[in-house]
A and B are shown apart, each in its own frame.
Chain A
Amino acid sequence: REKQLVEYFRAQMRKDPDMASAVAAIRTLLEFLKRDKGETILGLRESLKWATDCLTGEDSSVAVSSGGELFLRFISLTSLEHQDLSRCKKVMEERGELFLEKISMSRTKVAKLCHTFIKDGAKILTHSYSRVVLRVLEKAAAEKKRFSVYVTESQPDSAGRQMAEALRKLNVPVTVVLDAAVGYVLEKVDLVIVGAEGVVESGGIINKIGTYQMAVCSKAHNKPFYVVAESFKFVRLYPLNQQDVPDKFKYKADTLKTVQNLSEEHPMIDYTPPSLITLLFTDLGVLTPSAVSDELIKLYL
């Protein structure tokens, strides 16, 4: 059963490479719900949790686990007082479809909110490859705004180059800089926009390694630091510092499975505290970091 699940997940990812991995995970979970032969609601919930764990085993990003948990909460939020299980399941499936629809629209909503903050002639700095940031820049380009972009190379996987390619296709002037050159280039830029893999309770974000550095430098230069993230990335974590982020998010899933001594591995993500973030653009609206906790309480309770 586990293999089936993982296969379906991988198929979904391959089908639409532009889709967030969390969305693919939620599609998989919905399909799993439809095919599940459980007898009780509690059993259903248990098996969904198990399925989420499997998927995090495949792709260890924060968004997959937060998306899975939110999916579970969303579908169980209705009254499940119906007598027979099939009716309950139907209700849950309908809500699952609703949830999926909502989050597929989330990137467009974010782009609509954010593109107005990009003024004509702006110079933007961004980090690594983020599809949400790409969507925002697409929208801004479509609104006939002229801007230029600096992208960090973002080792170890050089994802920044992928981002640069995508931007060149939009006819946006783009420059790739070294990760070490962030401080050097910051005096030329007007604003910094990054995506997020997860948004934590304190209002901080978890993102590709190098984001924290960029945030500290932009604070020192007094440049606004904007984060764009969909709402299913909100997660119930509260790290106090870099060390406090759980290991299961820091490294890629296959690294976690194969490697013995994790302290020799290089982490893939870092934590940016809320004091360095100016605003967060989400499909719930434009939020300050302290408002994130409010939204999380609404989402999770």
Chain B
Amino acid sequence: MVMFSLTPVLDVCTQQQEGKELTKEEKQRLRKEKKQQKKSKEKKDDKPSRDSEKEKKPASAASPAPQTPTQPPAQKAAPAPVPVPASETPSAADKPAKSKAELKAERRARQEAERASKGKKGDVGPQAAPGKPKAPPSELQPVVKRLPEHVQVDNPEVLKKLAKKLERQQVYGCAPNCCGCIPLRSDYGYKVSLFSHLHQYSRKAPLTQQLGIPSTVIHPAIVRLGLQYSQGIVAGSNARSVALLHAFKQVIRDYTTPPNEELSRDLVNRLKPYISFLNQCRPLSASMGNAIKYIKKEISNIPSQCKEEEAKRKLLNCIDCYINEKIVLAAKAIAKYSIEKISDGDVILVYGCSSLVNHILCEAFEKNRKFRVIVVDSRPRLEGREALRRLVQKGINCTYVLISAVSYILPEVSKVFLGAHALLANGYVMSRVGTSQIALVAKAFNVPVLVCCETYKFCERVQTDSFVSNELDDPDDLIVTRTGTTQLEHWQEVPSLGLLNLVYDVTPPDFVDLVITDLGMIPCTSVPVVLRVKNVDQ
């Protein structure tokens, strides 16, 4: 077992300051401070204090002064959250050397430049990665929307910043001559222009061949998990979340608090590089994001008097509870509600392989409901075959079609059951690509569409189309057809040809008749109500 004994390094401070993933508490504290500052001074004075922190920032985001008009919003975006944590360190109390008037003038000039280029970046930035707060709307100044890095892949400044951040995250106990850092994984192949803001990685060579990762930097359980994600061995949002939580359990077991550090703060900082690494292997899903938020909250809530053994035991217990409540028991509750909706003689259509939907159908079959299932499948993943295998094993009567036959088969169908990857705050359902197509055709045939989703997959994000935030899979998957012919083998040599292998799409709430969650059956428009109730509970 690898022991992680740390010596406190000066760079911890820098890393904290530059870590883009602030915990929820930190962000709330920062917001409160900002509000207090606003109340005590005039609104215009508020900016100089923030600006002063920006000035104090040594070699922060390495990009040069934002003179070019296209850069300012992105620049403002990145440095804005970064220097604010500096206010936590006591040095923030010192006022800058420059006078306030000079800062005001500088800042106003920058703002004008920003406002001029506001139109370019627009307000379309999704409040994407879970954990990023919504920019507080100030009455006078324009709201600077922060685009997360994973949707700014075509912006070289952002990429440079991300690379630097990854470097800095890996300095714990590294020998000076080891190449310690996680290099940025490079994109592969030509990207279709609509999706050029997303990453596209290749699965040909395993990840560890491309990125040399010494084991002192990332815990081997996490490396294994990353490999499993990137090769597609662990797939499906429930499976990925559970695997993530088990890997974190291993990390916690192997963790020892370094001297002069508190477990609650140090462990959270330790997890940050792991999360960046996993993000490089495969972009995090909404359910994983929520699980990570939960763990970070639990860790930071550990009281400082707690002994290490006890703290670790508590954390492991928390994780087990979370898995049990939110995934296992939720599945049982959802199955109970769904069985009421399955009547004898039903013909149920399912798409792809959702662990939850399969569980529901198996339970219903055990309760002696008479129904038959039509499994719809699509290339290149062909996940429907796995679902078919599981259902046929139980003895359920199944039919298998490809998605191109869906309008042919729908007149026979009485209900459609779909799984979800995440449910967005405006009621849209994010799921495997092809789901929205099936929902659309089902609506045209007046067939009720039921989505089954646990509440831990509910996400505060808002999205109305599938372009803004998605995942691009390896385009080489599309090359080989069933008969083994590969006419597209040399697609890279054709300059006007691009292969697109999308993973997710969003379905509008008008096509979904009912969402079955562990809290009960709700209409798709009530997702924000559930989110509100959950926040009140916490």
Query: A interface vs B, CB < 8 Å?
Result: 201-203, 238, 240-241, 244, 274-275, 290, 293-294, 297, 301
Residues of A with C-beta under 8 A to B523: 201-203, 274, 290, 293
Q: Is the CB of B415 within 8 A of A293?
A: no
Q: Is the CB of A293 within 8 A of B526?
A: yes
User: Which of B415, B510, B525, B529 contacts A297 (CB under 8 A)?
Assistant: B529
Q: Which B residues, 481 to 525, have Cβ-Cβ distances below 8 Å to chain A?
A: 510, 513-514, 521-523, 525
Q: How large is the interface on B (under 10, 10 to 19, 20 to 34, 35 or more residues)?
A: 10 to 19
A190 to B448, CA, bound (A): 31
B534 within 8 A of A: no
CB distance from A78 to the nearest CB of B (A): 20
Residues of B with C-beta under 8 A to A244: 341
Residues of B with C-beta under 8 A to A290: 523, 525-526
A18 to B450, CA, bound (A): 40
User: Which of A203, A240, A297 contacts B533 (CB under 8 A)?
Assistant: A297
12 more A-B residue pairs beyond the given contacts A240-B341, A294-B526, A297-B526, with a C-beta to C-beta distance below 8 A? A201-B523, A238-B521, A240-B415, A240-B448, A244-B341, A274-B523, A275-B510, A290-B523, A290-B525, A290-B526, A293-B522, A293-B523
Interface CB pairs A-B, < 8 A, 29? A201-B521, A201-B522, A202-B513, A202-B514, A202-B523, A203-B523, A238-B514, A238-B521, A240-B341, A240-B415, A240-B448, A240-B450, A240-B513, A241-B448, A244-B341, A274-B523, A290-B525, A290-B526, A293-B522, A293-B523, A293-B525, A293-B526, A293-B529, A294-B526, A294-B529, A297-B526, A297-B529, A297-B533, A301-B533
Residues of B with C-beta under 8 A to A274: 523
Q: Which B residues, 400 to 443, have Cβ-Cβ distances below 8 Å to chain A?
A: 415
Residues of B with C-beta under 8 A to A202: 513-514, 523
A290 to B427, CA, bound (A): 11
A297 to B533, CA, bound (A): 10
Query: B interface vs A, CB < 8 Å?
Result: 341, 415, 448, 450, 510, 513-514, 521-523, 525-526, 529, 533
Residues of A with C-beta under 8 A to B450: 240
CB distance from B335 to the nearest CB of A (A): 16
CB distance from A242 to the nearest CB of B (A): 11
Closest to A290 in B: B525
A289 to B523, CA, bound (A): 10
A203 to B514, CA, bound (A): 12
Closest to B341 in A: A240
Closest to B449 in A: A240
Residues of A with C-beta under 8 A to B448: 240-241
A202 to B526, CA, bound (A): 10
Residues of A with C-beta under 8 A to B341: 240, 244
CB distance from A255 to the nearest CB of B (A): 22
Residues of B with C-beta under 8 A to A293: 522-523, 525-526, 529
Q: Kindly name the residue among A202, A274, A275, A301 whose own CB sees the greatest number of chain B CB atoms within 10 A.
A: A202
Residues of B with C-beta under 8 A to A294: 526, 529
Closest to A202 in B: B523
Q: Kindly name the residue among B341, B450, B514, B523 whose own CB sees the greatest number of chain A CB atoms within 10 A.
A: B523
Closest to B526 in A: A293
A275 to B525, CA, bound (A): 12
Residues of B with C-beta under 8 A to A201: 521-523
A202 to B522, CA, bound (A): 7
Closest A-B pairs by Cβ, 4 of them: A290-B525, A240-B448, A293-B526, A238-B521
Residues of B with C-beta under 8 A to A241: 448
Q: Is the CB of A240 within 8 A of B526?
A: no
